[in-house]
């Protein structure tokens, strides 16, 4: 606590502690159930460690040794000798698949996908019919993602499936056989066909369009190869999990929760975020599905897992997050989503009933000093229901506080209940933090998603302003101390906030945000363009059509830069391939020409977001001082805030 006995605020948590890599993250169990892998610091970066299931971290061995950039995604193989992981170079997203030898963990990793610059590997899938191999999709041909079979031990690579249409996908069963074909039609609908043993395609279904801006997810062949699991709105407003039959095309609901969408957010970062559908490792059978709610909702679909789930629920007051089971389906590693205690991980053996805590991501952090995340709801000015989360600082009367509106990216993502480093950091510094799922955010129904068509810098921004007004009207927020902060689309939203409504916010932070919608679309990686029908082209426009380009420029902060008078902090990764550096360079240059206060951080070894701890610490130290100077929150740094020169 602070020195004043009447001050009930918790101590300021050091930025170095707050934004250090977690001590433990992304755990999983080996197929045979004897070992655990996870991420932990090693040589100054996140690396993969392995230990016996009954051992502690003191017995663990680091099996990767990256010193340049932390590792996020790794894979067990069916051979206990090998483990695989993905890595890019300084955030450029040109992912390569590497192999490490668990029998010789000190040996250098082997690159199984030595690709040319601009090409990338998209993960590794097991192929049970060919032991010792994995299927890897990569674009050796820059515009086409083909599937290759890689022999893990030798590295021998064989073309397994060539894709001739960048808008199409061939879906494989567990034997690696082609069983379904999907293609994105010119009108934005997804055409699903069955592939017969002769190779002939039989049309089965057409799904959606603009209500699936990120694509139809999931697209998962059932364990028996006779059905395809997809997310479908059918004739309603809720996204359901349905099965399309290979023979008849009949559509059967597998999981649905009235008033709630299937949560496809985990498809954006598989292995790190919880998936929409949980399946048994050996059989591939589905046993649970995840839905969006005030707190995420798990819909159990298998009686055997119902018994396991009942025991897992006893281990935490959070919500089940990622789940890794061995081949027997008896030994499990479970993480839990929690707003104040992230990354709590348990081991559970259903055969013996043994359950034990393995680790907490941040063992030195007291959850009781962190702030609860409260679900909130209110109507937009046109009546559209909006859902969000309010995080209030601990130990302070929740009245007339400085408030930061934290805007999520995408824009086709959504904020959900769970641990938010941004919200907790800002609340610890004395700010109320408001996160709102503005129109276009996924997870809140078809009407909510499609209400964003044509509404960049219009109704989408109105939703954010309405959210702030709700907080002011409720007395939570001081109308003269409002800040806006976000990354990617959230960075664009921050720039819109200080251009479209220049008098509303007292400070703003744009983190890898878009300033010029037309330039942003023109500089996206070329292979993304064929898949942009239902998102950027449908919701924003095509910059190659003059009248649409003119409209996009009218909604671009770069063309409204003369309206900016709000103090601004801009942060950018030099290697960002999604929002290129010019998006930040250009708006900073224009502001400096006018003498508007702007601080600019560029990380030369980062891409679309800062991953390395020293860069995160640099960023959040600047955010702390920026908001402290202009909104009046707490700061651990008593020195003069950084210069804006």
DSSP 537: I
Q: What is the mean pLDDT of residues 297-311?
A: 97
pLDDT band with cut points at 50, 70 and 90 for residue 643:
very low
- Tally of CB atoms within 10 A around 614: 14
Catalytic residue among 160, 350, 448, 608: 608
% of the chain beyond a pLDDT of 90: 93
Residues 431, 393 contacting (CB under 8 angstroms): yes
Is the per-residue pLDDT at 3 higher than 60? no
Whether 635 is catalytic: no
Residues 416, 443 contacting (CB under 8 angstroms): yes
Is the per-residue pLDDT at 224 higher than 90? yes
Nearest to 287 by CA among 295, 275, 296: 275
Q: What is the mean pLDDT of residues 238-250?
A: 97
Is the per-residue pLDDT at 78 higher than 70? yes
Report all structural domains of the chain as residue ranges with CATH numbers, in order of start: 374-516+556-631 (3.40.50.1820)
% of the chain beyond a pLDDT of 70: 98
Whether 232 is catalytic: no
Q: What is the mean pLDDT of residues 617-633?
A: 98
How far is 46 from 39, CA to CA, in rounded Å?
Answer: 6
How far is 634 from 642, CA to CA, in rounded Å?
Answer: 16
pLDDT band with cut points at 50, 70 and 90 for residue 164:
confident
Catalytic residue among 414, 448, 576, 635: 576
Whether 488 is catalytic: yes
| pLDDT given for residue 6 in this prediction | 52
pTM, to two decimals: 0.95
Is the per-residue pLDDT at 7 higher than 70? no
Sign of CA dihedral 444, 525, 569, 518: negative
pLDDT digits (tens, 9 = 90+) for 351-388: 999 999 999 999 988 999 999 999 999 999 999 999 99
Residues 541, 548 contacting (CB under 8 angstroms): yes
Is the per-residue pLDDT at 644 higher than 80? no
Catalytic residue among 488, 515, 556, 635: 488
Q: What is the mean pLDDT of residues 444-470?
A: 98
Structural tokens at position 91: 């955030």
How far is 15 from 614, CA to CA, in rounded Å?
Answer: 10
pLDDT digits (tens, 9 = 90+) for 11-54: 999 999 999 999 999 999 999 999 999 999 999 999 999 999 99
Beta-sheet pairing, 251-255 with 178-184: unpaired
Is the per-residue pLDDT at 516 higher than 80? yes
How far is 22 from 293, CA to CA, in rounded Å?
Answer: 27
């Amino acid at each position: 606590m602070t020195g004043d006995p009447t001050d009930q605020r918790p101590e300021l948590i050091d930025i170095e502690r707050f934004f250090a890599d977690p001590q433990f993250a992304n755990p999983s169990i080996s197929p045979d159930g004897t070992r655990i892998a996870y991420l932990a610091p090693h040589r100054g970066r996140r690396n993969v460690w392995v230990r016996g299931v009954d051992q502690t971290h003191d017995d663990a061995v680091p099996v990767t040794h990256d010193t340049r950039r932390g590792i996020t995604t790794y894979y067990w193989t069916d051979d206990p000798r090998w483990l695989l992981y993905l890595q890019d170079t300084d955030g450029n997203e040109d992912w390569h698949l590497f192999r490490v030898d668990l029998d010789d963990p000190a040996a250098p990793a082997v690159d199984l996908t030595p690709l040319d610059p601009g090409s990338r590997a998209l993960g590794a899938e097991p192929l049970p019919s060919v032991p010792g191999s994995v299927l890897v999709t990569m674009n050796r041909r820059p515009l086409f993602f083909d599937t290759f079979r890689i022999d893990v031990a030798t590295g021998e690579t064989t073309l397994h499936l060539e894709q001739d249409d960048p808008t199409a996908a061939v879906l494989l069963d567990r034997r690696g056989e082609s069983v379904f074909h999907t293609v994105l039609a010119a009108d934005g609908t997804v055409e699903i066909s069955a592939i017969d043993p002769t190779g002939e395609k039989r049309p089965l279904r057409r799904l959606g369009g603009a209500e699936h801006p990120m694509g139809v997810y999931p697209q998962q062949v059932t364990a028996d190869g006779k059905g395809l699991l997809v997310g479908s709105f059918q004739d309603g407003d809720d996204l359901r999990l349905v099965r399309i039959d290979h023979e008849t095309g009949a559509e059967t609901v597998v999981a649905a929760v009235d008033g709630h969408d299937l949560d496809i957010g985990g498809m954006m970062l598989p292995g790190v975020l919880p998936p929409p559908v949980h399946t048994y490792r050996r059989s591939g059978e589905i046993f649970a599905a995840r839905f969006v709610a005030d707190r995420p909702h798990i819909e159990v679909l298998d009686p055997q897992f119902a018994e396991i789930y009942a025991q897992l629920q006893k281990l935490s007051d959070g919500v089940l997050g990622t789940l890794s089971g061995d081949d027997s389906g008896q030994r499990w590693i479970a993480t839990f989503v929690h707003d104040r205690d992230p990354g709590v991980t348990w081991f559970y053996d259903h055969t013996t009933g043994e359950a034990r805590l393995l680790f907490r991501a941040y063992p030195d952090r007291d959850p009781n000093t962190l702030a609860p995340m409260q679900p909130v709801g209110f109507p937009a000015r046109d009546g559209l229901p909006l859902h969000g989360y309010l995080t209030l600082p601990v130990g302070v009367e929740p009245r007339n506080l400085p408030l930061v509106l934290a805007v999520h990216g995408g824009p086709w993502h959504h904020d959900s209940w769970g641990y938010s480093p941004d919200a907790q950091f800002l609340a610890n510094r004395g700010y109320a933090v408001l996160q709102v799922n503005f129109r276009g955010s996924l997870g809140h129904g078809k009407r909510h998603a499609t209400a964003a068509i044509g509404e960049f810098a219009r109704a989408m921004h109105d939703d954010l302003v309405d959210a702030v007004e709700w907080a002011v009207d409720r007395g939570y927020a001081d109308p003269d101390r409002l800040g806006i902060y976000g990354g990617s689309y959230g960075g664009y939203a921050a720039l819109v906030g200080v251009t479209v409504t220049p008098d509303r916010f007292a400070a703003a932070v744009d983190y890898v945000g878009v300033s010029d919608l037309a330039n942003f679309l023109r500089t996206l990686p070329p292979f993304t363009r064929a898949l942009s029908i239902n998102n950027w082209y449908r919701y924003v426009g095509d910059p190659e059509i003059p009248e649409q380009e003119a409209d996009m420029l009218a909604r671009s902060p770069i063309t409204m830069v003369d309206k900016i008078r709000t103090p601004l902090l801009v942060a950018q990764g030099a290697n960002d391939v999604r929002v290129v550096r010019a998006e930040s360079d250009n708006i900073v240059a224009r502001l400096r020409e006018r003498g508007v206060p702007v601080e600019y951080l560029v990380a030369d070894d980062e891409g679309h977001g800062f991953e390395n701890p020293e860069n995160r610490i640099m960023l959040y130290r600047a955010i702390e001082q920026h908001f402290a100077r202009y909104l009046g929150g707490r700061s651990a740094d008593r020195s003069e805030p950084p210069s804006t020169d």
